[in-house]
Structure 1
Amino acid sequence: MLPLLPLANAAERAGHTVGLLSGRGAAAIVPSMEVFEVGPTIYEAIAETGRRLGGDQDGTKPGPGAVELFGAVRLDGVVDEAVEAARRFAPDLVVHDTVDTMGPLIAAVLGVPLAEHRITGPMPEELLQAIADRARAEHSARGVARPAPIAVVDPYPDALLTEAERDDTPGRLPLRPEPHSTSDAGRPLPEPDGPVAAVTLGTSVQNAAAMGSLVRSIASSGVSVLATVEPGALDVDDSVRHMVHEVGFVPLARLLPGVDVVVSAGGSGTLLAALALGKPQVIRPFIADQPWNARRAADRGVAVEIEDPASAGAAVRQVIDDPSYSQRAEAIAKELVDLDDADRVLKVILDRL
């Protein structure tokens, strides 16, 4: 959801009425907007996918699990409720993320134009087609076909892609990435002396053991840590306790500007926010598109990818001590400034309606 918010915020600034439709729990993420909660939480949907397919096919990795999660579990038994919520809202435009199948279905039933909003880099076409095929039964049951989008909004920059991956899709609108922000100023953040690392696993990865290992390793390397966990959540030695600051959930627009390196799971929101601010990164990927993101960032020399969270300290030191990582990240940030912001992209989309 978070990668879509810059466009939603731009629509509100322009005087339009914006509603977000997602599963249970979504309203807590964006309390300032109208949210329609329809269907299971993402964690419930993942658990159901694992129950259906068994093993590690729970939808958190590309493959049959992702097809089942987005093409079926997300829709099963809740399509009519979602369509009715949308009908009452009466949208003039539906914007959906690339793997979401509910948005295209709503647009088809209501006869409303559709725009696609990408949330990551290029994904295998066969995977996206399989997800769409899995959802086709819901379209057929209602006598509609999945509509073609009038625009494809893409915040994933060419600077992270190979020449072969770069996309000339008709209607594609490159969008300048921007860190998630809110109007709430929140509590002041610590300002430690010396180098500082922001450590976050984003909103998708729930792994307390990995977070603890990352933080302990980084603090032991002599780098202060701003960790996005609630105070008291981390078990760290007294010898490095003064290096660790548990700051809770902080929008990236507030968290990242004052740090020297960003340590994350490599979710697209964190990856692109760090690049927009010219911050080098250390990435320990876990699920979904994170391994692809980590590989692309490492290939471009703006990040170090690690497998063992306990090696984060050495990787952070490598990134801090070698100025080439910061230089490359800052160069990409300068390129991104030239892309259209969300206000301009929104205007182009509305001109196409």
Structure 2
Amino acid sequence: MSSFPDVRPRRLRRSAAIRRLVEENRVAPAELVLPMFVKEGLTEPRPIASMPGVVQHSRESLRKAAAEAVHAGIGGIMLFGVPERKDETGSGGIDPDGILNVAIRDVVAEVGDGTVVMSDVCLDEFTSHGHCGLIAPDGTVDNDATLAAYAEMAVAQADAGAHLLGPSGMMDGQVGVIRRALDAAGHTDAGILAYAVKYASAFYGPFREAVESTLQGDRRTYQQDPANLRDSLREVRLDVAEGADLVMVKPGLPYLDVIAAVRDEVDVPVAAYQISGEYSMVEAAAANGWIDRERAILETLTSIRRAGAQIILTYWAVEAARLLRERY
């Protein structure tokens, strides 16, 4: 007779080899996307103090880093531009010679179809007031006027060669307006990665340093309430109906339940953005010796994958790809 207990789940945990064999969820380098910042006028990379290891790139360093990312085997790059001058309407985001559109051309020229080049369709990096849209006379963000600007911005980015456009401003109707504008301009093959679920989160702080945000007030009238889930699923359904090719949840770790619910709701690929605050918390704790940094990186990514995100935007994309190759 066998001794109690009869069932011993620990048999499948007894060695690293067995654990790898029965692992239920596994992150692949090709599922990771690296967000990258390019700053107009820089001649060398500039460190971002609140995001150790992340920089504002010059055009030259961006091209080099993009090539390194492709060599690492990651799935894509998401580009954000930081202009030298901002104005009320964010005109630098629409200008074909603005820093983001120039950077898209640079990266596409460097890597071609070696990775998926994505770009942020939002005005916040380019407006003097820091909001994601145009400001109405009463001081509110004008949804419909902003849609027209997004349409122009998306076409300019597609003209520059972006493969996926990422509308992140949370304006009502943004996906449909951008889809129609892209099609009318002949960019029927350009895809839309919709920031369908984007919460008004406290975890964006370091990102605002990265893009030198001049935000006045907050974004709670257009980004989503962290308390809500049904509202997020409604947004997702609307974006898919308007033509989104992929949908994204942002942030990642505080919203694992939302990622899981979105995965169950749609039949398009689901992405999640592991944002700056999530990154910086781990880096700060590791710098203080409080956690094992590399294990924490892989654990956080695995949790997002387990929740249902097929694609993960993370500032650790290139390093994580190396760690995953070493692990498997």
Q: How does the TM-score come out when normalised to structure 1? A: 0.31
Q: Which has the higher contact order (CA 8 A, sep 6+)?
A: 2
Q: How does the TM-score come out when normalised to structure 2? A: 0.33
